[in-house]
Amino acid sequence: YAMLLSLIFLIVLVAAVVGFVFRHEIKTNFESNLNLALRDYNVTADRHSEAVDTIQRTLHCCGVQNYSDWERTDYFTQRGIPRSCCKSQDDCSEEDLKDLSKAKLKVFVDGCFFLVTSTMESKMSVVAGISFGIACFQLVGIILACCLSQYITNNQYEMV
């Protein structure tokens, strides 16, 4: 049991170190995937389009760097900026969303990449604290399992 807990502890430790070391690559990868999701955005309910809509609605952002990123997409030429970028759903018309100068007043202007990464970085201390707490419990479990094993081994031949 102690060996199994030790193995799990080491796997989590390696995952944390790899995540910390490659955090810049993770950011770059996220940005390129977000750009791809915008490029391939469509009206049909595929997972990538739903994810973009959810991020934009939840974080009150639009596009990758800013709302004008949508201008380079096929979706913009057909329908304009998506409604998930609108500050108020009642105040966004399709004509406003097709004109960037009018849309600037009606949609969120901040890009999602900076907001997502800053939100993740701000929550990292909470994640690190919880991970440290779990690691402490695992270490206590490993020590107690070793003590129990030692106790059983020492008392195996004791006369009753």
State the CATH architecture for 1-158.
Orthogonal Bundle (1.10)
- 75 contacts: CB under 8 Å, gap ≥ 6: 41, 42, 43, 82
| Residues 58/92, Cβ–Cβ less than 8 Å | no
| Residues 140/6, Cβ–Cβ less than 8 Å | no
Distance CA 70, CA 99 (A): 11
- 98 contacts: CB under 8 Å, gap ≥ 6: 76, 79, 80, 81
Q: What is the pLDDT along the chain (160 residues), one digit of tens a residue?
A: 889 989 998 988 888 888 778 888 888 898 999 888 888 888 566 788 888 889 999 999 999 999 888 988 888 888 888 888 998 888 888 888 888 888 888 899 899 999 888 888 888 878 888 888 888 899 999 999 999 888 888 776 655 5
pTM equals 0.68
